[in-house]
């Protein structure tokens, strides 16, 4: 992967798992979805109030990158299958796109959505995709989100950046 280009970071946020992390309705057992949503909310503002994405929903892409994605739901799903139980709620493969769908719905975003399994520097790899999306010209903003599901006792975390080309530069 190449280093991120000179996009302008309009806003950013970093959040960590812990007792203050707000649960997200519809998601259970794992901090993955609540981390994504909290990072976005901290970055651009609460969707129920004034926020940075008001009125630009069709010009915003979302890119989510993670090395491990939702390992907690995966482990729980495997455990339940091994016990002869199957829960459709623990369909861990859809958690990344499902939480991005909730973000898109709540913020009125209708641009492209991408989820990446990253291998090295998550932020750089997500920003590289953001650069491509911005250069393509179909979006003016990219909400770049990374999630690191860390093994215990290290807290998992998520980061979000709202990026765009600088005002003096268009691709």
pLDDT computed for residue 96 by the predictor: 81
Q: What's the pLDDT at 1?
A: 45
- 8-164 is classed CATH 3.40.47.10: yes
Segments of the chain with pLDDT less than 50? 1-4, 168, 171
pLDDT tens track for 28-67: 778 888 999 999 999 999 999 999 999 988 899 999 998 8
Q: Cβ of 63: how many Cβ atoms within 10 Å? A: 25
d(CA 32, CA 65): 12
pLDDT value for 152: 67
Gap between the Cα atoms of 100 and 86, Å rounded: 24
pLDDT at 81: 74
Domain limits, the chain: 8-164
Q: Give the whole-angstrom CA distance, residue 145 versus residue 142.
A: 9
Quote the pLDDT of residue 85.
77
pLDDT of residue 38: 97
Helix (H) / strand (E) containing 170: none
Share of the chain above pLDDT 90, in %: 49
Give the pTM. Answer: 0.85
Phi and psi at residue 95, in whole multiples of 5°?
Answer: -55, -45
Is residue 30 within 8 A of residue 140, CB to CB? The reply is no
Name, in order, each residue with C-beta under 8 angstroms of 100's C-beta and a sequence gap of 6 or more: 36, 62, 64, 113, 115
What is each CA distance from 53 to 102, 112, 113, in whole angstroms?
Answer: 15, 15, 15
For position 4, what pLDDT does the model report? 47
The pLDDT, as a whole number, for residue 90 is: 63
């Amino acid at each position: 992967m190449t280093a991120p280009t000179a996009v302008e970071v309009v806003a950013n946020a970093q959040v960590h798992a812990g007792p203050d992390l707000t649960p997200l309705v519809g998601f259970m057992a794992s901090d993955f979805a609540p981390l994504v949503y909290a990072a976005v909310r901290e970055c651009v503002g609460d969707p129920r109030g004034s926020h940075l994405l008001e009125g630009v929903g069709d010009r915003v892409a979302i890119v989510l990158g993670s090395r491990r994605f939702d390992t907690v739901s995966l482990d729980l799903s495997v455990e339940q299958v091994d016990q002869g139980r199957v829960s459709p709620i623990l369909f861990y493969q859809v958690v990344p796109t499902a939480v991005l769908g909730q973000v898109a719905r709540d913020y009125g975003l209708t641009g492209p959505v991408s989820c990446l399994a990253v291998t090295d520097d998550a932020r750089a790899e997500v920003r590289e995709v953001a650069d491509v999306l911005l250069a393509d010209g179909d979006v003016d903003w990219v909400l770049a989100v990374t999630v690191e599901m860390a093994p215990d006792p290290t807290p998992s975390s998520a980061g979000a950046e709202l990026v765009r080309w600088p005002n003096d530069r268009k691709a």
